[in-house]
Amino acid sequence: MWPFRRTSESTMNFRRIDADFAIAGQIQPDELRSVADAGFQAIICARPDDEEMGQPSFRQIAEEARKVGLTAVHIPVSGQLTEGALIRMEQALEDLPRPILGYCRSGARAGSLYGAIMRAAG
């Protein structure tokens, strides 16, 4: 799926939105080292657990993220963006070290959260 197609098993693709934020489709626990090596300091997961069979839980991702020095935040979005999700995203963007990688199934929800906060900030 464009632009998140993996070119090899060890290569993770992401799309940079700006200098502080990028998006990706679902990441796997064994890819967290690559995320850190790409220079990211934190990750935001916009995907609810158990959305799809075989999907790693946020807990699994967060445990591996911690091992490689990344901060992980879970802001699950199912359907429309809610006020609660937007408040949590705004707080995460204030608190987390940058750059940040946001992910979900395709990257769209993570990007929508970020875009909504950036539009609100003017």
User: Which tens digit of pLDDT belongs to each residue from 99-121?
Assistant: 999 999 999 999 999 999 999 98
| Residue 29, preceding peptide bond in cis (omega within 30° of 0) | no
pTM of structure: 0.90
Q: What is the pLDDT of residue 4?
A: 40
Q: What is the pLDDT of residue 11?
A: 63
Residues 58, 31: Cα–Cα separation, whole Å: 14
65, with CB counted inside 10 A (0-12, 13-18, 19+), is: buried
Task: Indicate the CATH number of 28-121 among 3.30.413.10, 2.40.50.140, 3.90.190.10, 1.20.140.10.
Answer: 3.90.190.10
Residues 89, 94: Cα–Cα separation, whole Å: 9
1-25: pLDDT as tens digits:
334 444 445 567 899 999 999 999 9
Half-sphere exposure of residue 119, counting CA atoms within 13 Å on the CB side? 7
Q: What is the pLDDT of residue 96?
A: 98
39-90: pLDDT as tens digits:
999 999 999 999 999 999 999 999 999 999 999 999 999 999 999 999 999 9
Q: What is the pLDDT of residue 122?
A: 80
